[in-house]
Structure 1
Amino acid sequence: MNLQRLTELAAAGAVNELELLSLEGGFYVLRALTGAGPVTLSDEHGQATRLRSTTEVRQLLAGWPEVPCMLVQQVVHDEMCGQRDGPIAPLRVPLSLSTQW
């Protein structure tokens, strides 16, 4: 979904939460959680938009309505060591879109 359509959904109150997925390689992918399911921000070619920093995300979403945002990162230590039994949930940290700190 492109930024314009995602902005329209947010303005209509259809975005419940944003997830900023931290991926290997030092980039992020923005995903919106809606009533219809998760939607990934895409570029003009339909590819997931790669964002380079949380600052870039804040600049991209400047002027958006207040929507909860979570930084989501897999726990690499658990994946490498593999010592825990059962599913391993990712680390979820609240991220402010209005301020850096």
Structure 2
Amino acid sequence: MIKHILIFSAQYLPSWGGVEKYTFNLSKELLSRGHKITVVTSNVMNLSDYDYSDGIEVYRLPCINLLNGRFPVLKFWTKKFWKLNKELKKMHLIFL
């Protein structure tokens, strides 16, 4: 049975550290098993809010970039945050 899996990760590509590698490799493995994958991460590099690459959906939430991106704090008070939050709630997901 194909499942739609949502993974929350403080960091994700294009930044390339340990957390990012782990999340990407986990996503690719689950994708190879036939699941749909969505990664929700912090937008520490001011990239687009939504991206689709390598078969993986990526939502980037607005954040304050502290400690050179190692401690992103979500801007939960912004309209953009609540708009993305609403989009994510519409999905039927399994949380990891």
Structure with greater Cα Rg: 1
Same fold (TM over 0.5): no
Structure 2 length-normalised TM: 0.32
Structure with the larger helix share: 2
Structure with the larger strand share: 2
